[in-house]
C-alpha cells in the first residue's frame, strides 16, 4: 500500500492556516474573499508544480488534473471546500483539499502508476456564510440550484455573488464543469464534525449517507405592551410562548427514535427591547434522521402542534427538506477495504451535516471518508484533528483512489 508524506501534510495544514488566520488560532475565510483567493492561489501554484492542468468553471470551482496513462478515460476526482465560517477551524473543508493535493503529490513523487486522470478540486462557497445558499458551487454544477437565482444572491457587503465571481479571477467556463460522463468517481475526505468516532476510538469513518432533514420556521404572534404596566394575566408574550413551543417540540420529539437530532439555532424577537413585552418571535427548527419514516413523524408532530401557546397564535412555515442521500455502495466498500488493509480501526457512519459530496452523488458515484474531530468540535477555532489522524485519512483516500483506478 502506498502512503502519503506526513511531513508535507503537516506543512500544508500550516500553510493554509495562514490564509485568514484569527487571533484564536482558527480562520475566517469567506468564499471568494481575499483570504480565500490567497488559499486558491496557493493550491494552484502547488498543483501546477506537480504537473496538473488547471481549469475553473463558471462558478469558480477549481479543477487541477493530473493526466493518466490511458487516454480517453474519465477522471477520478477528490476535493472539498476552502471557505470557512466566521472564526472557523483549520480542518473543515480544507482538510479535503489538502488530502486531494497530497494524493496528487504522492502519486507524482512516488511515480505511482494510474490509468485515469486524477483531479484535485476546490468547491466554491460551501459554507454559504456570506452568500446564500450553502453548497453553492456543487449545487449549481449538479443541477440543484438555478444559476441566475444564485448569481443574484447579495452578501452582507452589498455585493452580488455574480460581482464577487467577476472580480475573483477564478471565473471560468461552463464547459469545464464536472459532469457525469467525464468523471468516474468522487471521494471527499472530511472531518466528522461530531463526537462519534472519537467516542468509539475509531480512526476512520466509512460514510454511508448524508441524513435527510426538515427545516421549519415557527412563528408566534403576541402583543407588545409596557413591561411594568401590564399585569401577567393580560399579556400575550410571544417570547414566553416560543419557549413553551420549543419545550413542547422537544418533549414530543424525545419520544421518537433516539438517533433523531433536532435544533433551534436561530431566533428573531421583536421589538427586542428589555422594557417591552415581545409581540413577535420566530425560531428555526431543524430535524435530521436517516429514515424517511422518522422525518415523516417529525412533520406530523410539527403540523399537529397546538395553534396557540400562552395566548399567542402559532404559524408554521416549511423552509426546505431533503431526503437521505446514500453514497455509492461499491465506493463505500472500497473505502472500508482500504481502511481494513491499513489496519485502521473504522466504522460505518452517516453524516448529519451537508457536504458537496451529497450533490455530486446524484451525478456520479460518490462517497466520503471521515476522520475524528477532537471533542466533536467544528465550525469554531478549537476544531482539531491530529496529524496522525489526518495522515491516516489521506492514506485511505489515496488507497481508495488507486483501487478505483484499477477498475
Ligand atoms: Zn465542510
Q: How far apart are CA 261 and CA 268, in angstroms?
A: 22
Tell whether the model's pLDDT for residue 91 goes beyond 90: yes
Give the Å distance between the CA of 339 and the centre of ligand 1.
Answer: 22
CATH of 212-322, one of 2.30.30.40, 3.40.50.450, 3.30.70.360, 3.40.50.2000: 3.30.70.360
Give the Å distance between the CA of 93 and the centre of ligand 1.
Answer: 4
Give the Å distance between the CA of 131 and the centre of ligand 1.
Answer: 16
Q: Would you say 184 and 78 are in contact if contact means Cβ atoms under 8 Å apart?
A: no
DSSP 222: -
Write the DSSP assignment of 102-119 as a string of letters.
HHHHHHHHTT---SS-EE
Residue 128, all three cell numbers: 454559504
Q: Would you say 210 and 324 are in contact if contact means Cβ atoms under 8 Å apart?
A: yes
**Can you state the percent helix, strand and coil of the chain, rounding each to 5?**
35, 25, 40
Give the Å distance between the CA of 98 and the centre of ligand 1.
Answer: 13
Give the Å distance between the CA of 26 and the centre of ligand 1.
Answer: 14
Tell whether the model's pLDDT for residue 6 goes beyond 90: yes
Q: State the span(s) of the chain assigned CATH 3.40.630.10.
A: 6-210+324-406
Give the Å distance between the CA of 80 and the centre of ligand 1.
Answer: 7
pLDDT in tens, 146-174: 999 999 999 888 999 999 999 999 999 99
- pLDDT of amino acid 298: 96
Tell whether the model's pLDDT for residue 321 goes beyond 90: no
Give the Å distance between the CA of 265 and the centre of ligand 1.
Answer: 18
What confidence tier does 320 reach under pLDDT thresholds 50, 70, 90? confident
Residue 158 CB-density burial (10 A; 0-12 exposed, 13-18 middle, 19+ buried)? exposed
- pLDDT of amino acid 157: 82
Q: Would you say 208 and 402 are in contact if contact means Cβ atoms under 8 Å apart?
A: no
- pLDDT of amino acid 173: 97
CATH of domain 6-210+324-406: 3.40.630.10
Give the Å distance between the CA of 307 and the centre of ligand 1.
Answer: 38
Sole residue written with cell 410562548: 241
- pLDDT of amino acid 103: 98
Give the Å distance between the CA of 224 and the centre of ligand 1.
Answer: 41
Q: How far apart are CA 266 and CA 126, in angstroms?
A: 20
Give helix then strand counts, H and E, for the chain: 12, 15
From residue 349, give the alpha-carbon distance in Å to each of 203, 265, 370. 12, 24, 8
Give the Å distance between the CA of 233 and the centre of ligand 1.
Answer: 48
The structure's pTM equals: 0.91
Q: State the span(s) of the chain assigned CATH 3.30.70.360.
A: 212-322
Q: Would you say 213 and 321 are in contact if contact means Cβ atoms under 8 Å apart?
A: yes
Q: How far apart are CA 206 and CA 335, in angstroms?
A: 7
Amino acid at each position: 500500500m502506498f502512503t502519503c508524506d506526513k511531513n508535507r501534510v503537516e506543512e500544508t495544514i500550516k500553510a493554509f492556516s495562514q490564509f485568514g488566520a484569527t487571533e484564536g488560532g482558527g480562520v475566517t475565510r469567506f468564499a471568494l474573499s481575499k483570504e480565500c483567493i490567497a488559499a486558491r492561489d496557493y493550491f494552484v501554484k502547488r498543483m501546477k508544480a506537480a504537473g496538473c492542468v488547471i481549469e475553473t468553471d463558471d462558478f469558480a470551482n477549481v479543477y487541477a488534473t493530473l493526466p493518466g496513462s490511458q487516454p480517453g478515460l474519465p477522471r477520478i476526482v477528490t476535493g472539498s471546500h476552502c471557505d470557512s465560517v466566521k472564526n472557523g477551524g483549520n480542518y473543515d473543508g480544507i482538510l479535503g483539499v489538502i488530502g486531494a493535493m497530497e494524493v496528487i503529490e504522492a502519486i507524482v513523487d512516488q511515480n505511482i502508476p494510474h490509468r485515469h486522470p486524477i483531479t484535485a478540486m476546490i468547491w466554491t462557497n460551501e459554507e454559504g456564510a456570506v452568500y446564500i445558499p450553502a453548497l453553492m458551487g456543487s449545487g449549481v454544477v449538479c443541477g440543484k440550484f438555478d444559476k441566475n437565482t444564485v448569481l443574484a444572491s447579495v452578501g452582507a457587503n452589498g455585493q452580488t455573488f455574480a460581482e464577487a465571481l467577476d472580480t475573483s479571477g477564478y471565473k471560468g467556463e461552463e464547459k469545464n464543469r464536472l459532469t457525469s460522463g467525464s468523471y468516474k468517481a468522487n471521494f471527499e475526505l472530511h472531518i466528522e464534525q461530531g463526537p462519534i468516532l472519537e467516542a468509539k476510538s475509531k480512526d476512520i469513518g466509512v460514510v454511508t449517507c448524508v441524513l435527510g432533514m426538515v427545516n421549519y420556521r415557527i412563528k408566534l404572534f403576541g402583543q407588545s405592551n409596557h413591561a411594568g404596566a401590564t399585569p401577567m394575566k393580560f399579556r400575550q408574550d410571544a417570547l414566553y410562548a416560543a419557549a413553551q413551543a420549543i419545550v413542547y417540540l422537544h418533549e414530543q420529539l424525545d419520544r421518537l427514535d433516539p438517533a433523531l437530532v433536532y435544533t433551534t439555532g436561530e431566533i428573531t424577537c421583536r421589538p427586542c427591547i428589555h422594557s417591552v413585552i415581545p409581540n413577535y418571535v420566530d425560531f428555526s427548527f431543524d430535524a435530521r434522521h436517516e429514515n424517511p419514516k422518522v422525518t415523516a413523524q417529525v412533520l406530523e408532530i410539527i403540523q399537529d402542534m397546538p395553534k396557540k401557546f400562552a395566548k399567542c397564535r402559532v404559524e408554521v412555515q416549511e423552509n426546505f427538506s431533503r431526503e437521505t442521500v446514500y453514497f455509492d455502495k461499491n465506493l463505500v466498500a472500497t473505502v472500508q477495504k482500504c481502511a481494513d488493509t491499513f489496519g485502521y480501526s473504522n466504522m460505518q457512519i452517516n453524516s448529519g451535516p451537508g457536504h458537496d459530496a451529497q450533490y455530486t452523488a446524484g451525478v456520479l458515484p460518490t462517497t466520503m471518508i471521515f476522520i475524528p474531530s477532537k471533542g466533536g468540535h467544528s465550525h469554531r477555532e478549537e476544531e482539531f484533528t491530529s496529524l496522525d489522524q489526518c495522515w491516516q485519512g489521506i492514506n485511505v483516500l489515496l488507497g481508495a483512489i488507486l483501487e478505483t483506478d484499477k477498475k
